[in-house]
């Protein structure tokens, strides 16, 4: 699992900082999470292939999280895309995007599929044989969701030495990896656990931005491997966090500690601060497994 941070700052784009956008690579998928202004430029700078993006997840309809989407949709058209593009976002996204396409007479030449979200309860919005994606309802000024990406359990790994010892034909390998026992010609049953090793534990990634301090999410993200949680402010501006329904670095750390996550990544910083290290210092007073998001940074899990 690999996470590309394309942008991790709040509000307006600047020459050296970008609003929220991420790409998560997980089990042969490349998911785009939020699409702030300048996202397609960041995709090019970070050498991420546009063609691999088939699913885009938008947390909420504030501009710093989706104003890059119309341009990206248009660029896909110019590049001759023919594959479906699925967009998961709050209700209203279809109206906003289709109005722009209509006014510019620039309808896509590929299927554009909108999945408009309205539920205030967690719901699975994408699932295949490898991963699931579910919403994490957040507490912001407008309807907002985070997203929980979870691997499904992989097939078991063959114990090649054991398979060779019992002279098992290759035609049975897939059923063994699927968890089946094997019956030999003499009727002896070889338990699957003798022929295989446990697969790697499935990983999970939780994206939670934008939100105020919201302990309601803790049961859903309990023990997730990696949590990205917004930390717009430091404690010195906690009054602004409460007013705008954003979180401080310490509040993000409290969520991480109570949920016992593997790693907390801080992001969505206000640009008023001179150093990102201040965010990490404050968070680590509460929780000691903290990393800082930075534009262009890649995390591998």
Residue whose pair of structure tokens reads 């990696």 in the numeric block: 226
Indicate which residue of 28, 64, 198, 260 is catalytic.
Answer: 64
The reply to whether 55 sits in an annotated binding site is no
Contact 63, 37 (CB under 8 A): yes
Instruction: Please state whether beta strands 29-35 and 189-190 pair in parallel, antiparallel, or not at all (unpaired).
Output: unpaired
Helix (H, G, I), strand (E, B), or coil: what is residue 19? strand
List of residues 6+ apart from 155 with CB closer than 8 A = 177, 178, 179, 199
The reply to whether 210 sits in an annotated binding site is yes
Instruction: Please state whether beta strands 21-26 and 182-183 pair in parallel, antiparallel, or not at all (unpaired).
Output: unpaired
Q: DSSP letter at 76?
A: H
The reply to whether 4 sits in an annotated binding site is no
Give the ranges where 79-228 is alpha helix by DSSP (H).
93-103, 160-165, 173-177, 192-195, 218-221
Residue whose pair of structure tokens reads 């397609």 in the numeric block: 40
The reply to whether 140 sits in an annotated binding site is yes
Which of 165, 259, 170 has its CA nearest to residue 221?
Answer: 259
Active site residue 64: yes
Distance (Å, rounded) from C-alpha 87 to C-alpha 252? 27
Residue whose pair of structure tokens reads 């302990």 in the numeric block: 215
Distance (Å, rounded) from C-alpha 165 to C-alpha 179? 18
Instruction: Please state whether beta strands 145-151 and 131-137 pair in parallel, antiparallel, or not at all (unpaired).
Output: antiparallel
Q: How far is CA 166 from CA 20, 163, 170, 194, in A?
A: 54, 5, 12, 11
The reply to whether 65 sits in an annotated binding site is yes
Instruction: Extract the annotated binding site for Zn(2+).
Output: 60, 62, 64-65, 140, 210, 268
So which residues are the catalytic ones?
Answer: 64
Extract the annotated binding site: 60, 62, 64-65, 140, 210, 268
């Amino acid at each position: 699992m690999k996470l590309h941070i394309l942008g991790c700052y709040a509000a307006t784009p600047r020459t050296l900082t970008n609003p929220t956008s991420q790409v998560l690579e997980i089990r042969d998928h490349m998911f785009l999470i939020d699409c702030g202004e300048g996202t397609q430029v960041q995709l090019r700078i970070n050498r991420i292939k546009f063609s691999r993006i088939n699913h885009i997840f938008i947390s909420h309809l504030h501009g710093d999280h989706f104003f890059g989407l119309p341009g990206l949709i248009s660029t896909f058209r110019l590049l001759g895309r023919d594959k479906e593009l699925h967009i998961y976002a709050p209700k209203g996204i279809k109206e906003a995007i289709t109005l722009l396409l209509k006014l510019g007479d620039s309808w896509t030449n590929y299927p554009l599929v909108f999945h408009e979200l309205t539920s205030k309860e967690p719901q699975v919005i994408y699932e295949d044989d490898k991963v699931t994606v579910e919403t994490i309802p957040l507490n912001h000024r407008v309807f907002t969701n985070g997203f929980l990406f979870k691997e499904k359990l992989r097939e078991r790994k063959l114990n090649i030495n054991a398979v060779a010892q019992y002279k098992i034909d290759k035609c049975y390998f897939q059923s063994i990896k699927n968890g089946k026992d094997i019956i030999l010609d003499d009727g002896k049953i070889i338990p699957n656990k003798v022929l295989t090793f446990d697969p790697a534990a499935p990983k999970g990634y939780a994206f939670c931005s934008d939100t105020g301090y919201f302990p309601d999410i803790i049961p859903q993200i309990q023990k997730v491997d990696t949590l990205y949680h917004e930390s717009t402010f430091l404690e010195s501006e906690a009054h602004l966090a409460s007013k705008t329904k954003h979180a401080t670095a310490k509040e993000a750390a409290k969520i991480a500690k109570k949920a016992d996550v593997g790693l907390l990544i801080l992001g969505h910083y206000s640009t008023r601060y001179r150093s990102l290290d201040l965010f990490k210092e404050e968070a680590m007073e509460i929780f000691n497994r903290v990393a800082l998001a930075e534009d262009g940074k890649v995390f591998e899990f």
